[in-house]
Amino acid sequence: MKSRNKKLLAIGLSVVGLAIAASLVLNAFKKNLVFFFSPTQVAAGEAPKDRAFRIGGLVESGSLKRSEDGMLASFVVTDTAKSITVQYSIREYGPLPDLFKEGKGVVAEGKMGDGGAFLATQVLAKHDENYMPPEAAHALEQAQKAQQTVVTQ
Amino acid sequence: MIPELGQLALILALLLALAQGILPILGAHRGNATLMAVARPAAQGQFVFVAIAFGCLAYAFLTNDFSVENVARNSFSQLPKIYRFTATWGSHEGSILLWTLVLAFWTMAVTVFSHHLPDDMSARVIGVMGLVSSGFLAFILLTSDPFTRLNPIPADGNDMNPLLQDPGMVFHPPMLYMGYVGFSVAFAFAIAALLSGRFDAAWARWSRPWTTVAWVFLTIGITAGSWWAYNELGWGGWWFWDPTENASFIPWLAGTALIHSLAVTEKRGAFKGWTVLLAIIAFSMSLLGTFLVRSGVLSSVHAFATDPTRGIFILGFLGVVIGGSLVLYAIRVPKMESGGSFTWFSRESLLLANNVVLVAALGSVLLGTLYPLFMDAMGMGKISVGPPYFNSVFVPLIAPAMFLAGVGPLARWKQASLPEMAKRLRIAMAVSVASALLLPLTVGGFNWMASVGIGLAMWIVFTVLIGFAERLKHEQGSKLAALMRLPRGFWGMQLGHFGLAWVVAGIALVSAYETERNVKMNVGDTVHLSGYAFTFMGVEMRDGPNYRAARGTLEVSTGGKPAFVLHPEKRIYNASGMPMTEAAINYGFTRDVYAALGEELGPNEWTVRVFFKPFVGWLWLAGAMLTLGGILAAFDRRYLIALRKTGADTSPAKGAAVQGAKA
């Protein structure tokens, strides 16, 4: 094969490969991107109704409750302005992370349930004592800013 | 005193690295032998000083010198000695120092095993590595000094992150770095080739074993990391598509593509430009991995600190290295002569297809990893891309590579015949399709993922066997002796592909057939899972060296007979007060049984998590096969012969002239 044809072959193969890759990627991207919303945004109705998303903030002190068999946990996530009740099935999705604690930062992924509670399929806590998940820190920051604006107005 | 000595050693190392980076490259450009001769002693001196600095830091950790901030933050007097040593690289500063030490080590290895190269080539290679090292040493001295002192001196340290207190910490980071940084050698060879304008088969032959060895280390590092996550995190997973995992997987994909493309460049002289580009990509991805993991942009156990100056420095360094090499590439490549010709169906074209597939897969992982960071940086909202994306994109993209791994090694160079190939492969095809349809039924019912995985694994296994059979067909006498006589490079490839088959089979089977239960258990309660009965015998308190543990006892029986006992633990670390789950695993060839304690609900009442994981051990076994395959390929006789010629070949200048003329 001439070197010109060889180059054409190489380019052709790459284009086909990239086209397949691109279509797969874009399709999967559309389906699987998980957006983050703060409790304030959720309260304002900005979060999607039938699609998974993430929320973050602090676990409100004294809000952690368990069902009688201990396998269903519920707690309140707050960004200090608004809060949202989260339900998490330990039976289905496993124990809460080691570093999950009241008064500390948390991120949860899931969907809004019919009763207005957030049904989490995954709960993430920080990796060490002093670390706050960036999403949770962001939510608190936004809420603080929003409150300050209210006061100054 | 010792920490200051370490700092002084770092400054001297930086000066030597600059000399090693600038003078030999200048010398090679001007044909000045004296300047070129600086390369080796400077590199070796640099290695000594970086090693001294690392030794000083390790000494500070081992002797609990809490006047050093880094030690006070990341160690603790009650920490077992081995973890005090590993804590040396448990922090951001220490891990970058380890990176630099590994780079100095690789450079040292190049100075020792490069006497068969023309002088200007080895001068350029060592020089490029010196420039990279200068960047890292400057980064340490300017932004990440591991020897900063504290005043007043704290009474004790803050302890190492309990997640890192695992035997995995001993092997995983050093192995991963040996791999990451090992690609700097391939990169240095590529830049040296661009600088000199010589891209011949000899160049590919020189850089190929180095690339393979780096790939071996990266394979070990990733396998060890996956093993560690599986054992330590208590989630029962072995791969999470976590950005930090991707940061090591992306260079691995690039390295795998590079190994295959180097084969073509060495044997057939084709794909030169592409090979050089891949070498640049592989090392760039290693640097990017470091940036992602170490700059704190990723929230994970690996991100030690968030300090914007560090991020900006690494980003700038990344820009200079990647941008600079790509500009050099763009200038030089048009002058490159394309090598041997081949037809649309040949081993070359199949390897090209392999490269396209690997690079597309790499791109998909890179996109999924970087996109959320990009969106965040642009202030366009916080998003995350989880395992569902990677699974649905990566798996279909990489599957064709598995098919090609079966065909490629059997195809002829230059020109292969499709009908002949079909004839040679029809039995392998029939067996794999039959296994894909039937074998899943024997494991746990039909599952399309298990079916495709098994089919592809069997396809690779049978084509590997055909490869051996065809090599031995015309051998006279003992077939076993003939088998042993086959070149190590061939064995390496076969074993590597065989290992690939095991990974594919293992992943498919464990993903399709694993089972899990989360239950509340009182003493005497029993839970059943996939033929195993777990009886909870309660929890007792136990003291570890630097933690207190609640140690559970689960008696496991199968078929009515007691089989084994599992002791999962929940630990609280004394210094940090951090809780930590320690899973208990009973390992087996065809299955692992895995138990972890959840939370304490009442006295001797716990939530317990149990997993049944069929064939999960195959993943790490396969990692061992890939490793062994890589080692065999890297130490093929032809590379060793080249090394042995070192003494005899005393006219490198003449050799260089000849190669220069050829290029």
> Do A95 and A28 have their domain in common?
no
> Do B541 and B632 have their domain in common?
no
3-state secondary structure of B643: helix
Given CB atoms, is B385 within the 8 Å cutoff of chain A? yes
User: Poorest-confidence range of B142-151, B298-307, B376-385, B414-423?
Assistant: B298-307
Q: Where are the beta strands (DSSP E) in B477-531?
A: 515-521, 526-529
> Do A25 and A41 have their domain in common?
no
pLDDT given for residue B388 in this prediction: 86
Q: Which residues pair with B612 in a beta bridge?
A: B515, B593
Measured CA to CA, the distance from residue B123 to residue B33 in angstroms comes to 9
Q: Structure tokens of B482?
A: 């003939």
> Do A103 and A38 have their domain in common?
yes
A59 and A74 Cβ atoms separated by less than 8 Å: no
The one-letter amino acid code at A44 reads A
pLDDT given for residue A132 in this prediction: 55
Given CB atoms, is A20 within the 8 Å cutoff of chain B? yes
Q: Structure tokens of B546?
A: 């630097």
What's the CA angle centered on B527, arms B526 and B531, to 5 degrees?
115
> Do B83 and B147 have their domain in common?
yes
Q: How far is CA A149 from the centre of its chain?
A: 26
> Do B546 and B628 have their domain in common?
no
- pLDDT exceeds 50 at position B177: yes
The CATH number given to whatever domain includes residue A113 is 2.40.50.140
Whole-model pTM: value is: 0.90
What's the pLDDT tens digit per position in B310-367? 777 877 888 999 999 999 999 888 777 766 777 778 888 889 889 988 998 999 899 8
Q: Which has the closest alpha carbon to B17: B141, B121, B114, B117?
A: B141
pLDDT given for residue B645 in this prediction: 63
> Do A70 and A87 have their domain in common?
yes
Measured CA to CA, the distance from residue A91 to residue B630 in angstroms comes to 43
Phi and psi (nearest 5°) for B164? -90, -5
> Do B584 and B598 have their domain in common?
yes
The one-letter amino acid code at A132 reads M
Measured CA to CA, the distance from residue B141 to residue B663 in angstroms comes to 41
pLDDT given for residue B128 in this prediction: 96
pLDDT given for residue B299 in this prediction: 47
Q: What is the mean pLDDT of residues B104-116?
A: 93
Instruction: Tell me the ipTM for this assembly.
Output: 0.81
Interface-testing mutation among B382, B391, B393, B517, with chain A (most A C-beta atoms within 10 A): B382
- Pairing assessment for the beta strands A118-125 and A83-89 based on DSSP bridges: parallel
3-state secondary structure of B638: helix
> Do B364 and B237 have their domain in common?
yes
> Do A3 and A51 have their domain in common?
no
Given CB atoms, is A12 within the 8 Å cutoff of chain B? no
Given CB atoms, is B363 within the 8 Å cutoff of chain A? yes
Last residue of a domain, which of B146, B165, B184? B165
pLDDT given for residue A101 in this prediction: 86
| Higher pLDDT pick, A137 / B465 | B465
What's the pLDDT tens digit per position in B530-556? 999 999 999 999 998 889 999 999 999
H or E element that contains B572? strand B569-573
Is A131 marked within a binding site? yes
Contact list in A for residue B353 (CB cut-off 8 A) is 13, 17
> Do A80 and A122 have their domain in common?
yes
> Do B118 and B155 have their domain in common?
yes
> Do B129 and B211 have their domain in common?
no
Using CA atoms of B490, B493, B498, B501 in order, give the dihedral in degrees to the nearest 10.
-150
Measured CA to CA, the distance from residue A92 to residue B607 in angstroms comes to 12
DSSP letter for each residue of B115-150: TTS-HHHHHHHHHHHHHHHHHHHHHHHHH--TT-B-
- At residue B5 the predicted structure's pLDDT band, cuts being 50, 70 and 90, is very high
Domain that holds residue A13: 1-32
> Do A56 and A11 have their domain in common?
no
Last residue of a domain, which of B125, B142, B165? B165
**B288 in the Ramachandran plot: left (φ > 0), alpha (ψ -120 to 50) or beta?**
alpha
The residues, any chain, with a CB within 8 Å of residue B407's CB and separated by 6 or more, are B350, B421, B425, B463
pLDDT given for residue A2 in this prediction: 59
Domain that holds residue B65: 1-165
> Do B61 and B120 have their domain in common?
yes
3-state secondary structure of A110: strand
Given CB atoms, is B235 within the 8 Å cutoff of chain A? yes
Provide the number of CB pairs (under 8 Å) joining chain A to chain B. 140
Percent of chain B with pLDDT over 70: 94
Residue of B nearest to A24 (CA): B393
Q: Structure tokens of B552?
A: 């559970």
> Do A14 and A62 have their domain in common?
no
Residue of B nearest to A18 (CA): B360
Measured CA to CA, the distance from residue A12 to residue A53 in angstroms comes to 39
Last residue of a domain, which of B583, B598, B615? B615
Given CB atoms, is B522 within the 8 Å cutoff of chain A? no
Distance from CA of B129 to the nearest CA of A (A): 32
pLDDT given for residue B451 in this prediction: 92
- At residue B130 the predicted structure's pLDDT band, cuts being 50, 70 and 90, is very high
pLDDT given for residue B339 in this prediction: 67
Q: Structure tokens of B110?
A: 């190049």
Measured CA to CA, the distance from residue A40 to residue A78 in angstroms comes to 9
Which DSSP state fits B322?
I
Helical ranges in A33-133 per DSSP H: 39-43, 90-93
Q: What is the mean pLDDT of residues B2-11?
A: 94
Is A93 marked within a binding site? no
Average pLDDT, chain B: 87
- Number of structural domains chain A divides into: 2
- pLDDT exceeds 90 at position B658: no
Q: Structure tokens of A103?
A: 């008064």
> Do A67 and A26 have their domain in common?
no
The residues, any chain, with a CB within 8 Å of residue B450's CB and separated by 6 or more, are B440, B443, B508, B509, B511, B512, B513
> Do A28 and A39 have their domain in common?
no
> Do B110 and B235 have their domain in common?
no
Q: Structure tokens of B4?
A: 């200051």
